[in-house]
C-alpha cells in the first residue's frame, strides 16, 4: 500500500518560509507507532494524519518527531490547504476536523484560510526560576494554560534577543514556552517566539496553537478583538487573529512545497 504525503509551508506566502508541516492522507486509522515513525522521518515540527469520515469530515491527529500533541495550528492550516488543493473538498466547502481538542473547522475568506480554534487562556502564575534563567529575561507577566507557559517581556527587541537554554526549558514541564511583547514593528500588534524542546521542537517557526493564548491575552491588553501577531523565528510568519471569548479565529496562507508517495 501507499499513502499520499505532502509538505506545506503554513503561515507563509512563499516557499521556504513560515512553518513546514507534513500532511498524510490515510484511508483508515493507522497504528500510533507507525504515525510516530512517519513524523520522525518527516522531521518537521508536526505531521498531520487525516482519515475521512463517511459524512465528509476528517479525523485529524498531529505528531512532532517525538510525541503526539493535542492541538496544532499550522498543520491544521496545511491540512485544509491540501484538501482544497487536491479537490478532496470544493473551494466553497468548510473543512471539518475531529481532534483531541474537539471539533475544529477551516474555511477560505479574504484571500486566506481561517480556522476556528479553542481559546487557551493563560492564568497568571509564578514562573519557575529555571524557566526565567533559561530564557534570560525579566517578565512583565508570567502565566500558564493547559499546554504552555506565557511570558511577556518588555519589548520586541527583548523577544528577538532571547537565546534559550533548552535543557532548562525542557526541565520545566508542559509542552513549551511562549515569549511575547507588544510590537514595535509596523503592521502587527505583537510579536512572539515559541520553544518546545520537551516535545522535540527546539524553536517552532510559527505556532498557531500558541496564538490561541496570545490572541485573548493581547486582545485584553490592547482593547481590540482583531489582531496580527508576528512570530519572530528565523523563518518567521504572521498569524491573523480574532478573539471571540472561548474561541479564536486564526488566519494565514500556505504553500505546498512537496507532494510524494509514502511507500
- Write the DSSP string, the chain: --EEEEEEEES-SSTT-SEEEEEEEESSPPPHHHHHHHHHHHTSSEEEEEEE-TTS-EEEEEE-SS-EES--HHHHHHHHHHHHHTTSS-TTSPEEEEETTEEEEEEEETTEEEEEEE--PPEE-PPPHHHHHHHT---SEEEE-SSEEEEE-S-HHHHHH----HHHHHTT-SSEEEEEEE--STT-SEEEEEEEGGGTEEEESS-TTTHHHHHHHHHHHHT-SEEEEEE-SSS-EEEEEEEETTEEEEEE-EEEEEEEEE-
Cβ–Cβ under 8 Å, residues 195 and 173: no
| Phi-psi sector, 119: left (phi>0), alpha (psi -120 to 50), beta | beta
The pLDDT score that the predictor gives to residue 129 is 83
The pLDDT score that the predictor gives to residue 173 is 86
The pLDDT score that the predictor gives to residue 58 is 98
List 29, 41, 46, 85, catalytic entry: 46
The pLDDT score that the predictor gives to residue 41 is 97
Q: Which residues lie across from 205 on neighbouring strands?
A: none
The pLDDT score that the predictor gives to residue 150 is 98
- Rounded to whole angstroms, the Cα distance separating 205 from 194 reads 8
Q: What is the dihedral of CA 68, 69, 74, 78, to 10 degrees?
A: 40
- Enter the C-alpha cell of residue 167: 535543557
Q: Is 46 a catalytic residue?
A: yes
- pLDDT tens across the length of the chain (263 residues): 799 999 999 999 999 999 999 999 999 999 999 999 999 999 999 999 999 999 999 999 999 999 999 999 999 999 999 999 999 999 999 999 999 999 999 999 999 999 999 999 999 999 988 999 999 999 999 999 999 999 999 999 999 999 999 999 999 988 999 999 999 999 999 999 999 999 999 999 999 999 999 999 999 999 999 999 999 999 999 999 999 999 999 999 999 999 999 99
Amino acid at each position: 500500500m501507499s499513502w499520499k504525503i505532502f509538505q506545506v509551508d503554513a503561515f507563509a506566502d512563499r516557499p521556504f518560509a513560515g512553518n513546514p508541516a507534513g500532511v498524510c492522507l490515510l484511508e483508515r486509522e493507522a497504528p500510533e507507532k507507525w504515525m510516530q515513525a512517519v513524523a520522525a522521518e518527516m522531521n518537521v515540527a508536526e505531521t498531520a494524519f487525516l482519515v475521512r469520515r463517511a459524512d465528509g469530515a476528517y479525523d485529524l491527529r498531529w505528531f512532532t518527531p517525538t510525541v503526539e500533541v493535542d492541538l496544532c495550528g499550522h498543520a491544521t492550516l496545511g491540512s485544509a490547504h491540501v484538501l482544497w488543493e487536491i479537490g478532496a473538498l470544493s473551494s466553497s466547502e468548510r473543512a471539518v476536523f475531529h481532534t483531541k481538542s474537539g471539533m475544529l473547522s477551516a474555511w477560505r475568506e479574504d484571500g486566506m484560510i481561517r480556522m476556528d480554534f479553542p481559546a487557551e487562556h493563560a492564568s497568571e502564575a509564578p514562573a519557575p526560576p529555571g524557566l526565567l534563567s533559561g530564557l534570560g529575561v525579566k517578565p512583565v507577566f508570567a502565566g500558564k494554560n493547559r499546554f504552555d507557559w506565557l511570558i511577556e517581556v518588555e519589548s520586541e527587541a527583548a523577544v528577538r534577543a532571547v537565546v534559550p537554554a533548552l535543557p532548562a526549558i525542557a526541565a520545566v514541564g508542559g509542552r513549551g514556552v511562549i515569549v511575547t511583547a507588544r510590537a514595535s514593528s509596523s503592521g502587527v500588534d505583537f510579536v512572539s517566539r515559541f520553544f518546545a524542546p520537551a516535545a522535540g521542537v527546539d524553536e517552532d517557526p510559527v505556532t498557531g496553537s500558541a496564538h490561541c493564548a496570545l490572541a485573548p491575552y493581547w486582545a485584553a491588553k490592547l482593547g481590540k478583538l482583531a489582531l496580527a501577531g508576528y512570530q519572530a523565528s528565523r523563518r518567521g510568519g504572521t498569524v491573523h487573529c480574532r478573539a471571540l471569548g472561548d474561541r479564536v479565529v486564526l488566519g494565514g496562507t500556505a504553500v505546498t512545497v512537496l507532494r510524494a508517495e509514502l511507500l
